[in-house]
Amino acid sequence: MGDMQFKSSVETTLKVVGGKWKPVILCHLTEGIKRFSELKRDMPDITQKMLTQQLRELEDDGIIDRKVYTQVPPKVEYSLTEYGATIKEVLDVMSVWGLKHQQKIQSSAPR
Amino acid sequence: MGDMQFKSSVETTLKVVGGKWKPVILCHLTEGIKRFSELKRDMPDITQKMLTQQLRELEDDGIIDRKVYTQVPPKVEYSLTEYGATIKEVLDVMSVWGLKHQQKIQSSAPR
DNA sequence: CCGTATCCGATAAGATACTG
DNA sequence: CAGTATCTTATCGGATACGG
């Protein structure tokens, strides 16, 4: 773990799943294919701009797939790519540790 | 994975190991006890201010231990706590995925 | 419906100087 | 040696308006 490669590969992962919204988006997409409007409904606090931006970045990283139906009104579906699904185990490990940490904080900072 | 708890626990983990410097600091501390100046030498690009700040946050989160030797010149040693060592497996998983992702990017974006 | 474009505030991070 | 204090800059995220 003490090497240089380690540092930059962790940073790479943080770029892909870090930030305020990407974990949440990925979380929802693990439930299956979602339309843009569905994702927006699932995350009432995200702005359209941020949702679009984060989805584009995930798409560029090959994590999600974007399927556009050329029709009026437009319809766009997002889903995890096969490759993107591999990020789930990373998120799972992060979730498990974070949950334990939350509980630790709870028990050590009462009052 | 589709629940609310998941979202916030991933965010908790990102708070603790996220950001530009914390993974790097933790990486170096897995090698053993380090003095402030050693850490600074290991990370030439970090400023003293950032190093101090990040170390304080890690200490507040119970990840690292700070031992001050009251002497002149001062000596302060940092080390992972037993609890802090549990973050290693999270970083490892992130590192493995990030490394694969780097290789994927390499092979799919030549030119 | 699914975006893009602009502008703006908040926060993260860096440069530099100074101190017990 | 191991920090603080202050100031500046860069990046992230949000609000709002508009467009195909």
Q: Domain limits of chain A?
A: 2-108
Q: Give the pLDDT band of residue B48 (cuts 50, 70, 90).
A: very high
Q: Which residues pair with B96 in a beta bridge?
A: none
pLDDT at A4: 81
Contact of B63 with chain A, judged by CB distance below 8 Å, is answered with: no
For residue A23, the chain B residue with the least C-alpha distance is B7
pLDDT at A94: 97
Quote the CA–CA distance of B18 and A82 in Å, as a whole number. Answer: 26
The larger pLDDT score, comparing residue A107 to residue B58, is at B58
Calculate the angstrom distance between C1' of C10 and CA of B7. Answer: 22
The mean predicted confidence, pLDDT, of chain B is 94
Calculate the angstrom distance between C1' of D1 and CA of B17. Answer: 27
* Percent of chain B residues past pLDDT 70, beyond the cut: 95
pLDDT at B4: 81
* CA nearest neighbour of A99 among B91, B65, B3, B81: B3
Contact of A27 with chain B, judged by CB distance below 8 Å, is answered with: yes
Q: Give the pLDDT band of residue B109 (cuts 50, 70, 90).
A: low
Residue A100's contacts (CB-CB under 8 Å, 6 or more residues apart) are: B86
Residues of chain B with Cβ-Cβ distance to A18 below 8 Å are: 14, 18
Protein contacts on strand D: list nucleotides below 7 Å from a Cβ: 1-6, 12-17, 20
- pLDDT greater than 70 at residue A109: no
* Phi, then psi, of A69 in degrees rounded to 5: -100, 115
For residue B18, the chain A residue with the least C-alpha distance is A14
The larger pLDDT score, comparing residue A80 to residue B106, is at A80
Calculate the angstrom distance between C1' of C6 and CA of A50. Answer: 15
**Residues B2-108, CATH architecture:** Orthogonal Bundle (1.10)
The larger pLDDT score, comparing residue A7 to residue B10, is at B10
The larger pLDDT score, comparing residue B110 to residue A46, is at A46
Write the pLDDT tens digit of every residue in B4-19: 888 889 999 999 999 9
Residue A80's contacts (CB-CB under 8 Å, 6 or more residues apart) are: A26, A29, A30, A63, A64, A65
Instruction: Report pTM.
Output: 0.93
The predicted model gives B78-104 an average pLDDT of 96
- pLDDT greater than 90 at residue B110: no
* CA nearest neighbour of A25 among A45, A44, A39: A39
